[in-house]
Amino acid sequence: MSKGIRIPVQKRSIEKRKKIIDTATKIFNDKGYLNTTTAEIAKEAGLATGSVYAYFKDKKDIFVEVLKLYSNSIYNNTIKI
């Protein structure tokens, strides 16, 4: 039986999840989604690959979070205008 995805509650966990998303955003922008691996995201974020899988199911799950943040940013900026 596998463990579920961790929902961060403590400050350190929230920061770790944010670091994964921020790092993935940078790498996706530089190399593209298909040319990026989860291991690469983990290494660049200074984490073990297993730590990434504690917060996300897979690379697609990370990408969806990146898209959510990006779309929210666009929406919020549009509302301000």
4-8 long-range CB contacts below 8 Å, 24 or more apart?
Answer: 5/54, 5/55, 5/56, 5/57, 5/61, 6/54, 6/55, 8/55
CB proximity list for 42: less than 8 A, separation 6 or greater: 20, 48, 49, 51, 52
Per the model's pLDDT, the better-predicted residue between 26 and 1 turns out to be 26
> At residue 13, what is the residue type?
S
- The domain ranges of the chain are 11-80
Summarised one tens digit per residue, pLDDT across range 28-45 is 999 999 999 999 999 999
Summarised one tens digit per residue, pLDDT across range 32-81 is 999 999 999 999 999 999 999 999 999 999 999 999 998 877 767 777 77
Would you place residue 19 in the very low, low, confident or very high pLDDT band (cuts 50, 70, 90)?
Answer: very high
Per the model's pLDDT, the better-predicted residue between 11 and 7 turns out to be 11
What pLDDT shows up at residue 3?
62
Please give the CATH topology (third level) of the domain spanning 11-80: Tetracycline Repressor; domain 2 (1.10.357)
- Residue where the block lists tokens 């690469």: 40
Assess contact for 52 and 20: CB atoms under 8 A. Answer: yes
Would you place residue 1 in the very low, low, confident or very high pLDDT band (cuts 50, 70, 90)?
Answer: very low
What global pTM score does this model have? 0.83
